[in-house]
Structure 1
């Protein structure tokens, strides 16, 4: 059965952090639903790139719709729009209670903090948000997995986040294949050339 992931997009989301992860997951045949948190089908990011969503948040039934992972890209004012949306907070709290994996990158761990679900987990974030979150332990790492919470630092780590999400979903072979196919490993082997 295909894995199912919801990507929450708010106006002002960080485009690289959203599209990199969506692309990697879809290449691995994950059923990704891009979800607009507003009543609009199209969502514009912090750098004026507009993405068409697959579904709107008001169509999601948090009590019956099952997902393997919920993913939040960062970006300002995107994270403010996520944190200010009562339905986003309820969704995060409900899926967290169910033990669903939740991934957040860059400034988005702050949204998890605002939802009250970060305090029991180790986490990382964009350095500019380090003092705005209160995880169990802050870690200066590219990627942190703590229970059902996955966090990463920013746009530059978004491809790694996508690969790590695949591994978390039990798709390590797909992650390794895509790292090779997408020349990701080559980049790190030759980045000083």
Structure 2
């Protein structure tokens, strides 16, 4: 069974975190929510989520994909966590999927992953990820094992891209059909 972890820090964008959680779990991925700023994490819209694990207990060998939602100050909190940066670097070095949406590609940039990579993120935030090649004309960009999304409206497309990468296009298509996603 494929496994993924989503990092949550206070100030995360609700839909950018929970759409991937929901869609990946529907698709049979064992998904763990890792609390970065505590076990109870509060979204940018004041929704409280209980994490499954503390970020300190996340081991890269246990997961196939690592997901960073955006939102502010959530993305900044992820970027400023040395534990998250170390996990992302190690995961990418081991050929695992690393992903970020909205403002969170700044996390991948700080980890040194966006150099020579195409990526997207929330328009106007691209100066926070100067080492990659920003694509402003796409909701989701996949470049090797790096998957990025533009923002809240891209959350479903981003999540389905992650699911297709982890479980295959057929399962992603089945889940999308069952959810009436077109």
Q: TM-score, normalised by structure 2?
A: 0.95
Gaps of 5+ in 2: none
Q: Which moved more, 1:149-158 or 1:112-121?
A: 112-121
Q: Which residue of 1 aligns with 2:146?
A: 149
SS of 1:178 mapped into structure 2 = helix
Give the equivalent residue in structure 1 for 2:126. 130
In 1, Cα distance between equivalents of 2:172 and 2:110: 31
Q: C-alpha separation between the residues in 2 aligned to 1:24 and 1:60?
A: 21
Which of 147, 171, 174 lines up with 1:174 in the alignment?
171
Q: 1:58 aligns with which of 47, 56, 59?
A: 56
Task: Work out which of the residue numbers 112, 117, 121 in structure 1 matches 2:117.
Answer: 121
Give structure 1 regions of 4+ aligned residues with deviation exceeding 6 angstroms: none
CA contact (8 A) 1:21 1:162 kept: yes
Give TM-score, length-normalised by structure 1.
Answer: 0.90
Asked if structure 2 preserves the Cα contact closer than 8 Å seen for 1:104 and 1:150, the reply is yes
Q: Does 1:34 align with 2:30?
A: no
Aligned-pair CA distance for 1:99: 1.1
The equivalent residue for 2:82 is 86
**Kept in 1: contact 2:12–2:74 (CA 8 A):** yes
3-state SS in 2 of match to 1:145: strand
Residue 46 (1) aligns with residue 8 (2): no
Deviations 1:129-152 (A, max 9, x none): 122212442112111111110001
1:12 aligns with 2:11: yes
Structure 1 unaligned segments of length 5 or more: list them.
186-193
Partner-residue secondary structure (3-state), 2:125? helix
Please say if residues 72 and 103 of structure 1, whose CA atoms lie closer than 8 Å, have aligned partners that are also in contact: yes
1:128 match: secondary structure: coil
How many equivalent residue pairs?
Answer: 181
Aligned equivalents of 1:139, 1:80: Cα separation in 2: 21
User: Is the 2:27–2:167 contact (alpha carbons within 8 Å) kept by the matching residues of 1?
Assistant: no
Q: How far apart, CA to CA, are the structure 1 residues paired with 2:79 and 2:131? A: 17
